[in-house]
Amino acid sequence: MSDIKTIKALFFDVGGVLLRAGRTQNLIAELETGPEDPDDAIASVLWGAAWEKYQVGQCTDEEYHRAVAEALDMEYPGEVTDFIRWFYDGEFLDEDVVALAKRLRRRYKVGIVSNAGEFRRRQLHERFGMDAGEIFDDLVVSYEIGVAKPDLEFYRVVCERLGATPEEAVFIDDSAPHVKAAMRLGMHGIVFEDCTTLVKDLEALLGPLP
């Protein structure tokens, strides 16, 4: 068990932790395992070269959506915008994880983090009401700070924003590489599976939860 007095902050990833989605997770799995024809895979388009720039603020919403439209042979803005909106429509809040975050906030600072662009940031606000000060103390979207997971600078920035050192923070993500990167910096890391397992992992690390 960690010295619970030293832990000041916990960070929750958005996609795959706070938000669950069939379409998103299926395409992520496709991207990680490798489709038969990677050049034609939707996942490779959505999270390809244009995405790498978009998620760190090096291209705009319009530039990213135009790149996706061209790659998928769709019209811009109507057809591709509708497609991207449809793609994310399958997402829903994991209410158990949200309730857990609210409990943890009684004792710790809680931040949410996401590798994403401007469109995603608006969606988190407009559709899910994710705003700093409500359930969480801070919301960090990669395009706003110019760096994304698993770059170690990303973790440094999010810790600084909540006034914690890496050793005083816990990072929760469904991506093992992202968790390993956080741990390289000195953060405590938990690979998310489901809320029940997360509670057990947190209790092993922190002791009884609030």
- pLDDT at position 2: 54
pTM > 0.75: yes or no: yes
- The verdict on 53 and 124 lying in the same domain is no
Token pair, residue 76, equals: 């811009």
Helices 152-161 and 176-185 cross at an angle (nearest 10°) of 70
Which distant-in-sequence residues (6+ apart) come within 8 Å of 34 by Cβ?
none
Among 74, 89, 104, the domain-final residue is 89
pLDDT in tens, the chain (210 residues): 555 569 999 999 999 999 987 555 555 554 444 444 444 467 778 888 999 999 999 999 999 999 999 998 999 999 998 888 887 887 889 999 999 999 999 999 999 999 999 988 888 888 888 877 777 999 999 999 999 999 999 999 999 999 999 999 999 999 999 999 999 999 999 999 999 999 999 999 999 999
- The verdict on 52 and 156 lying in the same domain is no
C-alpha angle 47/151/14, rounded to 5°?
55
β-pairing, 138-141 with 169-173?
Answer: unpaired
Helix, strand, or coil (residue 73) = coil
Residues 146, 148, 153, 155, Cα dihedral to 10°? 130
Query: CA distances (Å), 71 to each of 50, 53, 117, 124, in order?
Result: 10, 16, 19, 26
- pLDDT at position 88: 80
Listed residue (79, 41, 86, 48) closest to 64, CA to CA = 48
- The verdict on 14 and 53 lying in the same domain is no
- pLDDT at position 87: 79
How many angstroms separate the CA atoms of 191 and 172, rounded? 6
Among 47, 70, 89, the domain-final residue is 89
- The verdict on 104 and 165 lying in the same domain is yes
- The verdict on 130 and 199 lying in the same domain is yes
Which distant-in-sequence residues (6+ apart) come within 8 Å of 168 by Cβ?
6, 7, 8, 9, 159
The parent domain of residue 129 ranges over: 4-20+93-206
- pLDDT at position 86: 81
Instruction: For residue range 2-28, list pLDDT tens digits in order.
Output: 555 699 999 999 999 999 875 555 555
What backbone torsions phi and psi does residue 132 show, to the nearest 5 degrees?
-60, 135
Among 39, 61, 89, the domain-final residue is 89
- The verdict on 39 and 63 lying in the same domain is yes
- The verdict on 14 and 44 lying in the same domain is no
Alpha helices per DSSP H over 55-94: 61-72, 78-89
How many angstroms separate the CA atoms of 170 and 82, rounded? 37
CATH of the domain at 153: 3.40.50.1000
The number of distinct structural domains making up the chain is 2
- Position of tokens 């809680």? 110
